[in-house]
Amino acid sequence: MSQQFEPTDIRSPLSADQLEVELRAIGEARYHHRHPFQLALQNGELSKAQVQAWALNRYYYQSMIPIKDASLMARLHDPELRREWRQRIIDHDGHGPGEGGIQRWLALTDGLGLDREMVVSTGKILPATRFAVEAYVHFVRERPLVEAIASSLTELFSPLVINTRVSGMLAHYAFVSEQTLAYFKPRMTQAPRDADFALDYVKRHALRVDQQQGVLAALRFKCDVLWSMLDALDYAYVAPRRIPPGAFDPEVDG
Ligand SMILES: O=C(O)c1cc(C(=O)O)c2c(n1)C(=O)C(=O)c1cc(C(=O)O)[nH]c1-2
């Protein structure tokens, strides 16, 4: 399976700090902060219908993250590591009903006027959203553990994009508020905590050339997951619209 990932040209093992430099260079070049749909979202160039489509599709990512993290936890033999990783599931699922990140995402889709049952069913997401998110879950299940952990490292870069997105959306769109965008506030502390832990793990465990190539490819793969989710939105909902059959149509479902 590794042949499908572009190999990085490393001849001898990098130091841990050099590996971090390479990982950060991948994020700088390939993270979705550069995607045209993300730029349009934060610059106030999207209609409410296009923002609805983004939130509806992104719900699928949110809903699968705890499943991805549970799959990863199931591979951890060290209780200390599991204790660390389980916090991610708690962040998304909460300790009880009405809590956690998934609920806060639903506050956003509610605030945008989307029918909750339609959102939770995920029946109207784009096919490419489903494929991209499922590819992420499969990757985490199947690849070597250090690569599975490295694939979460996009979170090193998320506070920057979240900050720009939230301030841009609040400045430009009357149909969102700090309340409806409340999902993002805890992420500003959760993401760095999670990313620092994962980065430290990767730096300590990816020591051989093949492991280092693997973790760099894992981060590239994950950037591609996020990028292709936005590609799909751009293709379907930004003119000329090409909404696939059965997907959310703002004129019918908005
Ligand atoms: O808003 C964003 O741009 C963004 C990006 C990412 C990311 O980089 O993967 C995550 C999130 N948000 C997020 O909210 C989240 O819970 C999350 C979990 C993970 C992961 O890979 O385990 N990434 C992300």
Mutate which of 61, 151, 181 for ligand 1 pocket (most atoms within 8 A of beta carbon): 61
Separation between Cα atoms, residue 112 and residue 108, nearest integer Å: 6
Set out the domains of the chain in order of their start, with CATH numbers: 20-238 (1.20.910.10)
Question: 86-138 pLDDT, tens per residue?
Answer: 999 999 999 999 999 999 999 999 999 999 999 999 999 999 999 999 999 99
What is the Å distance from ligand 1's center to 153 Cα? 9
> Which of 3-7, 57-61, 144-148, 157-161 has the least mean pLDDT?
3-7
Q: Which tokens belong to 70? A: 């549970």
Handedness of CA 169, 192, 68, 213 (dihedral sign): positive
For residue 96, how many other CB atoms are within 10 A of its CB?
Answer: 7
Residue pair 205/146 in contact (Cβ under 8 Å)? The answer is yes
Ligand 1 binding pocket includes 218 (Cβ within 6 Å): no
Model's pTM, two decimal places?
0.95
Query: Residue 1: pLDDT above 50?
Result: no
Ligand 1 binding pocket includes 162 (Cβ within 6 Å): yes
How high is the pLDDT of residue 8? 61
Q: Return the percent helix, strand and coil in the chain, to nearest 5.
A: 70, 0, 30
Closest ligand 1 atom to 69 CA = 22
Whose alpha carbon is nearest atom 18 of ligand 1?
65
4: confidence class by pLDDT, cuts 50, 70, 90: very low
Q: Which tokens belong to 223? A: 């950037």
